Amino acid sequence: MLYSLLRDSLRFYLNHFIRFAQIVLPFTIPLGLFSLLYDKFLLTNPESALQVYFPMAVAFLFRPVYQLALLQSISQSLQHNYPTVGSLWQMGWSKWAPMFIVSLLYTAAVFSGMMMFVIPGLYLAIKFCFAEIFVAVEGCDPVEAMKRSWKATTGRLLPLTGGFILISLLLIVPSMQIANYVTTAGIPDFIGRFIPSVIFSLLGVFYTVFTYRVFDQARKA
């Protein structure tokens, strides 16, 4: 089952790659540039957590917009509907608050689990991985979305875990190797940090596609 889920997800991802790029890159490119320029010109105290994590906080504020646009694009494509990218962004802005709250709840739950030990954090990450879909596609409020995700992932832990592990190995391990090479080779930040981060933001969409594929299967079961 995992093989077919990954195969279907990869086919869908490749078939809609250009559209995903049109949705994501207009956000991740400026955010990547902002992070790079902030670290170079505005970061005055590397030991200050507030300063260090400020670019991440800014990115977190914008993520709900393009994440909802992505989820709506996937949902609409499965129904052979293809809204304009602008209309998808508009949906993202209109539902920014619930998407932001559910992202915050998800992050807090996973972080709390990680603080107890790694395994509880990973378990919670999987149990709540449908929450954003329930907000973006089903129109649930954040708390209801978390509850429904917990229930909907029952019986799906193995394929979700296996899929996330395989995708992570394919994406994160090479990214870490590139980062290590960049650090040791002294490559300029623009090439060594900005370009890989933008590429990874687009490749990371595959996580969303796979999650939605499992969600769709669970919904039809």
Q: Is the pLDDT assigned to residue 49 strictly greater than 70?
A: no
Write down the mean pLDDT value for the chain: 91
- pLDDT of res. 17: 97
Q: Which tens digits make up the pLDDT trace of 83-96?
A: 999 999 999 999 99
Q: Is the pLDDT assigned to residue 81 strictly greater than 80?
A: yes
Q: Which tens digits make up the pLDDT trace of 120-153?
A: 899 999 999 999 999 999 999 999 999 999 999 9
Look up tokens 């709900």; give the residue.
64
Residue scoring higher pLDDT (112 or 62): 62
Q: Is the pLDDT assigned to residue 12 strictly greater than 70?
A: yes
- pLDDT of res. 18: 97
- pLDDT of res. 189: 65
Mean per-residue pLDDT, 33-49: 80
**Confidence tier at 114 by pLDDT (50, 70, 90):** confident
Query: Global pTM?
Result: 0.92
Helices (H), the chain: 2-15, 17-37, 49-52, 54-78, 85-94, 96-116, 118-127, 131-136, 142-152, 157-185, 189, 195-203, 205-220
- pLDDT of res. 66: 98
- pLDDT of res. 117: 77
Q: Which tens digits make up the pLDDT trace of 153-189?
A: 999 999 999 999 999 988 877 777 777 776 677 777 6
- pLDDT of res. 183: 66
Q: Number of folded domains in the chain?
A: 1
**For 161, phi and psi rounded to 5 degrees?**
-65, -50
- pLDDT of res. 41: 77
Q: Give the domain range for residue 94.
A: 2-220
- pLDDT of res. 190: 66
**Confidence tier at 215 by pLDDT (50, 70, 90):** very high
Tell the burial category of 1 from Cβ atoms under 10 Å away from its Cβ (0-12, 13-18, 19+): exposed
- Percentage with pLDDT > 90 across the chain: 70
- The C-alpha torsion from 162 through 168 and 169 to 173, rounded to 10°, is -160
- pLDDT of res. 50: 66
